[in-house]
Every structure is written in C-alpha cells, then in structure tokens.
Chains A and B, each alone.
Chain A
C-alpha cells in the first residue's frame, strides 16, 4: 500500500478506489475510482442520477461505502460521520448551501467548531475571536461583505456561496468538494465564485467541482471525469478534450462527439 502511494509521480491528495454503494437492491455506485492532487481542480460531470452526489456524500462521510476504500495522502481512512471527514481535511459545500440564515456570517463560518474555552464539556464561545478570525479569513479569500455580523439570510446568492466556501476552508481544508456552486447564482456572481475556486487552488487546496455548466468546467478545471450509470465512464486532462466530447460523456457516448468533429475526414 505504501509502495503504491510512493510510486505515484506526485503525492495524491485524495484517492478513492473501487467505491461501490448499494441502497437496498439499487446499485448507486459500482467500482468508482477517483484521484485528486494538491492544487488540482477536478471537474466531475454526469447526468442527473448518474451517482455524482452519492460519490461526494461518500467522500464527505455522509454515506459509508458498501465496498472500496478512501485514502488521504496515501493513508486509508474510514469516515463514520461528516465530523470524521472534516478532521481528515475534506470539506463539502452543499448545493443547498447548508447555512443557518438566522445567524450572522461569522457564526456560520465556525458553526460546530466555535473558538472558545471548554468548561466541563461546554464550550464558552469567544465571539470576539470568532469575528476576528472570520474577517481575516474572508479577507484572505478576498470575499467582501459589509460586516461579518450580517445575517446570512440578508446576503445575495453569490455572497452566500462565498460564505459557504469560506466556511469550508476555514480550517485548513485539504480538499473542498463543491456541488453545483453556480447553479443558483445570477450571471454576474458566477465569475466571482469561479475566481474564488481559482484562489483556493492557488492556496494548494484540491477542489472537486460538480457542475452541469461546461463554461464553469472549462474555466476552472484541470481535469474532468465523467460518471455514467454509477461507473467511471471517461476521464481526461482539460487540455486534451473539448466541450462536445464532455457533453457526449454525460450522455454516455464515447467518441460520438469527436466523431462529429472528424466528420470532415470521412
């Protein structure tokens, strides 16, 4: 096992091998592999129900895989809850954002991990410290808000997405998984979020981006992999593929789109 980790040309940040997930008689995933390096943005595409979200929930500890293993920097890990995956450095930004709208930005960023001192099993939260850390962190990611005291429900969709990403990266995350981060955004906000993803990459974070939007995938990703009917279908560095081919993968056709491109030759 160590040999395999060592034999990689670069240290793999995250590796999933042969992930299989059954829900009763239904097979949602079958032997799926996934690799992610440091500072890499991996696009994951597939049609609705192809198994993308299930795979991500396995990686973030919400589901336990029926078969297969997950390795972080070559070491196998077992997640029993989202808390375990947090501790291993994997963070997920959910499609429905998973923010508490009734609470201010800084509290959302540190929700469940509030800074403070422990007294007999209770944490006395240091709100001042939390505010300061949140402001610094938002600054680092160049996310601009009026005040960290603003309630999340008062923010625009893009700002919420930014807060959700800030929340995911507040604790030195190694891997950030994003599920359709731009789907609900106004067009002018999409660019900001994609730039934010690039900034994460610059900080050495590995990002897995699930998206239907080819524009997004081709703007930020280094590599793209397609899942079809719960299996690995195709995978390529971004430089060696094109939109039509990737769209073909989503629909389960290999070489069809490129075939179209080669029509002239025939």
Chain B
C-alpha cells in the first residue's frame, strides 16, 4: 500500500503539465481565432482595416456588447442567465437622459445608469432566490418584458436628446495620441473597458466572493455546505450584471447623445453569444474574462469586416450563428479528447 501510494506521488509530472497546457489552449484558443480573423481582414481590406480610424471604430463599436457580455459572464459562471440586460439598458439610458435634461448635476447623472441597473439586478436576484422561481430564465424573461414596458411607459416611447457633454465623455471622449494623425486616439470607452475587464478578472480570481461564484456554478450543494451564502452570491451576480448593463447605457448615452427607448432590443442574445463563443460553459463553473473579451472581438470583427466589404447584414447573423455552434462544438471535442488522454 505504501509503495503504491509512493508511486502515485512520483507520477511523471509532465502529465499534469500537459493538462495545464491543454487548459491554456482551452482558455485562450479563441484568442488565436481573433488574431486569425484580424489577419484575414487585414489582407482582404488592406486600405481600411488596419487604419487608425477603423481600429478605434471597432473599439467603440464593441463597447456596449463588451460590457453586457462581462455582466452576463459573471451570471453564466453560476449556470444562470440574465435576459433582462437589454431592457435594463434601455430603462437606464432613459432615466439618465431624463434626469440630465431635468438639470441634475452630471456626477449624479453618471451614477444613475449603474444604479438603476444594479437595482433591477437585485430584483432579479431576489426574485430568483426568494420567490424560488425554477430557473433564472423565467425571472429575467419577466423583467425583460416588464422593464421594457416600464421604460416605454415612462417615456411614452419618445427619445430624449441633448445629453450634456460631461455625461457623454465616457462614451464619446477621445484621448489624442501625440502621433499618427487625426484618428490616432485612444477612446475613453476603451479605457473603461480595460478597467472593467481587468477589475472583473482580478475579482473572479483573487477575491473569495469571486471564487464562491465559481463554486456555486460548479456545485451549489458543495458551496452551501461549505458555509457559502449561495443566495447572497446569486443576488450579487445579477446585481453585477445589471450594473454593467447600466454602465453600457451610459456608454451608449455618450455615443448617441440621447436616450432612446429602443436601445438594446435583442442585445442580450449578442452578449450571451459573445460569452459562449469565448468558451464559458452554459452549465456554469467555467470561463475566463479574457475568453469573453475574445468572444466580443470575434463578433465585433466579423461585423466590422462584413460592413467594410458591404456584405448584407443577414450574413452577419448567419455567420455569428454558425460560429456559436462551431465554437461550442470545438469545445466539446477538446473536452472529450482531454478526457481520453
């Protein structure tokens, strides 16, 4: 017996390292796809694709989906889903636009989007945990409709324009670079994305609550008997998803200079697609922030590339659909081969 256990202890170390390497590939393989897409577009659209104007455009264009996907990622790690983010974004943008119009000081207006989002997120979380609805799909499908309805009731379906410059800075501001001409700028929204993605990556890796989110996704029963407040964790993740939807609304308020009640119709599906393309598991417990960002870029590059080539919007939908299926299928293959070795 002792001999046996020693032999396991002395098992070849490279075996584990290989699984580490395959795990790296699993987590970051999608980045290769992004680089490959970039290369193809650079070859097909040499005049435009790598221009400073286009690159900054891409960063600006992916901003909304990037923030929504980041929030959904946190939810999906718990094996949950948040369908309400598009509607939450619409209500957030309308309330912040209306309060800006009403003369509220801009620092307060900046807080309104994330605050509204967090509030609805908490309602989602409480609905799920207190009402014990069978699946977050139900609760957030409810808020998807209810919040959109409230948004239209509040605004009578009309847009509000003329948002003040300070409020718009996050969405439209640029920090000029000292070289490279008129379009060589770093969009402020890019910095916001960097901070949010870096912050969430750190939080999910280093903070106990972040680890508990993974534990709840891996095995809620294990989390519960480990003394983790599972309901508390769930309320937190939906609040976080709402928060990022509110932040996305702030970004769009800047980009459009207005609040419009049709914002974000169907946006939840794009965000879910980005998270899944990025390699997060729908069954929870798996996925990286970097993967999500790569998923967002895959969708953004595809859209940008097809726009540049003047290809019909229907191709974008078709291709994104195929990519979702393909990305998950590759993932299934990788996992089953991982089990075999």
The answer to whether any beta carbons of A and B sit under 8 Å apart in the complex is: yes
With a 10 A CB-CB cut-off, give which of B1, B20, B211 has the most chain A CB atoms.
B211
- A102, B208: Cβ atoms closer than 8 Å: no
Q: Which of A64-72, A141-149, A237-245 is found at the contact surface with chain B?
A: A141-149
When C-beta atoms are compared, the residue in chain A nearest to B8 turns out to be A144
Q: What's the Cα separation between A144 and B7 when bound, in Å?
A: 9
- B5, A111: Cβ atoms closer than 8 Å: no
Q: What's the Cα separation between A3 and B140 when bound, in Å?
A: 59
A202 an interface residue at 8 Å Cβ cutoff?
Answer: no
Return the contact of B208 from the options A92, A123, A144, A191 (Cβ within 8 A): A123
- A98, B222: Cβ atoms closer than 8 Å: yes
- B221, A96: Cβ atoms closer than 8 Å: yes
CB distance from A197 to the nearest CB of B (A): 14
Residues in B lying within 8 Å of A, measured CB to CB: 1, 5-6, 8-9, 11, 13, 15-16, 19-20, 206-209, 211-212, 214-215, 217-219, 221-228, 284-286
Query: Ordered nearest first, which 6 A-B pairs have the shortest CB separation?
Result: A100-B218, A112-B226, A102-B285, A102-B218, A123-B208, A83-B227
Show 22 A/B contacts (Cβ-Cβ < 8 Å), sorted by A: A82-B226, A94-B225, A98-B222, A99-B222, A100-B215, A100-B218, A107-B211, A111-B222, A111-B226, A112-B226, A112-B228, A113-B226, A114-B208, A114-B211, A122-B209, A124-B206, A124-B208, A142-B5, A144-B9, A146-B15, A147-B16, A192-B5
Contacts A100-B215, A102-B218, A102-B286 given: A82-B208 contact, CB under 8 Å?
A: no
- The interface bits of chain A over 83-116 (1 if a CB of B lies within 8 angstroms of the residue's CB, else 0) are 1001000001010111111110001100111101
User: Which residues of chain B are near A107, meaning CB under 8 Å?
Assistant: 211, 215
CB distance from A212 to the nearest CB of B (A): 22
Return the contact of A112 from the options B13, B20, B212, B217 (Cβ within 8 A): B212
User: Which residues of chain A are near B16, meaning CB under 8 Å?
Assistant: 146-147, 149-150
CB distance from B18 to the nearest CB of A (A): 11
User: Which residues of chain B are near A192, meaning CB under 8 Å?
Assistant: 1, 5
User: Which residues of chain A are near B227, meaning CB under 8 Å?
Assistant: 81-83, 86, 112-113
When C-beta atoms are compared, the residue in chain A nearest to B338 turns out to be A154
A195 an interface residue at 8 Å Cβ cutoff?
Answer: yes
Contacts A107-B211, A114-B211, A124-B207 given: A99-B219 contact, CB under 8 Å?
A: yes
Contacts A112-B228, A144-B5, A154-B19 given: A123-B207 contact, CB under 8 Å?
A: yes
When C-beta atoms are compared, the residue in chain B nearest to A96 turns out to be B221
Q: What's the Cα separation between A146 and B206 when bound, in Å?
A: 24
With a 10 A CB-CB cut-off, give which of A98, A112, A125, A144 has the most chain B CB atoms.
A112
Return the contact of B221 from the options A98, A149, A150, A154 (Cβ within 8 A): A98
- A102, B214: Cβ atoms closer than 8 Å: yes
A34 an interface residue at 8 Å Cβ cutoff?
Answer: no
When C-beta atoms are compared, the residue in chain B nearest to A83 turns out to be B227
Q: What's the Cα separation between A62 and B225 when bound, in Å?
A: 8
- A100, B208: Cβ atoms closer than 8 Å: no
Q: What's the Cα separation between A108 and B219 when bound, in Å?
A: 11
User: Which residues of chain A are near B209, meaning CB under 8 Å?
Assistant: 122-123
- A100, B1: Cβ atoms closer than 8 Å: no
- A195, B226: Cβ atoms closer than 8 Å: no
Return the contact of B225 from the options A98, A113, A149 (Cβ within 8 A): A98
Contacts A100-B285, A103-B214 given: A112-B5 contact, CB under 8 Å?
A: no
Q: Is the interface of B mostly helix, strand, loop or mixed?
A: helix
Supplied contacts A98-B225, A112-B228, 12 more A-B pairs, CB within 8 Å: A86-B227, A100-B223, A102-B217, A102-B218, A103-B218, A108-B222, A112-B223, A122-B207, A122-B208, A123-B208, A149-B16, A192-B1
Question: Size class of A's contact patch?
Answer: 35 or more
CB distance from B110 to the nearest CB of A (A): 22
Return the contact of A111 from the options B1, B13, B217, B223 (Cβ within 8 A): B223
- B285, A82: Cβ atoms closer than 8 Å: no
Q: What's the Cα separation between A116 and B208 when bound, in Å?
A: 9
User: Which residues of chain B are near A92, meaning CB under 8 Å?
Assistant: 225
Contacts A111-B228, A113-B227, A192-B1 given: A101-B218 contact, CB under 8 Å?
A: yes
Contacts A123-B208, A124-B206 given: A191-B1 contact, CB under 8 Å?
A: yes
Q: What's the Cα separation between A151 and B20 when bound, in Å?
A: 10
With a 10 A CB-CB cut-off, give which of A94, A113, A147, A195 has the most chain B CB atoms.
A147
User: Which residues of chain B are near A101, meaning CB under 8 Å?
Assistant: 218-219, 285
CB distance from B25 to the nearest CB of A (A): 15
When C-beta atoms are compared, the residue in chain B nearest to A111 turns out to be B226
CB distance from A148 to the nearest CB of B (A): 11
When C-beta atoms are compared, the residue in chain A nearest to B202 turns out to be A124
User: Which residues of chain A are near B8, meaning CB under 8 Å?
Assistant: 144-146
- The interface bits of chain A over 122-147 (1 if a CB of B lies within 8 angstroms of the residue's CB, else 0) are 11110100000000000000101111
User: Which residues of chain B are near A150, meaning CB under 8 Å?
Assistant: 16
Q: What's the Cα separation between A111 and B225 when bound, in Å?
A: 10
CB distance from B204 to the nearest CB of A (A): 11
When C-beta atoms are compared, the residue in chain A nearest to B7 turns out to be A144
CB distance from A81 to the nearest CB of B (A): 7
User: Which residues of chain A are near B214, meaning CB under 8 Å?
Assistant: 100, 102-103
With a 10 A CB-CB cut-off, give which of B225, B226, B284, B285 has the most chain A CB atoms.
B225
Q: What's the Cα separation between A14 and B217 when bound, in Å?
A: 35
CB distance from A175 to the nearest CB of B (A): 15
- B223, A125: Cβ atoms closer than 8 Å: no
User: Which residues of chain B are near A124, meaning CB under 8 Å?
Assistant: 206-208
- B207, A125: Cβ atoms closer than 8 Å: yes
User: Which residues of chain B are near A113, meaning CB under 8 Å?
Assistant: 226-227
Q: What's the Cα separation between A154 and B19 when bound, in Å?
A: 10
Q: What's the Cα separation between A15 and B88 when bound, in Å?
A: 54
User: Which residues of chain B are near A112, meaning CB under 8 Å?
Assistant: 212, 215, 223, 226-228
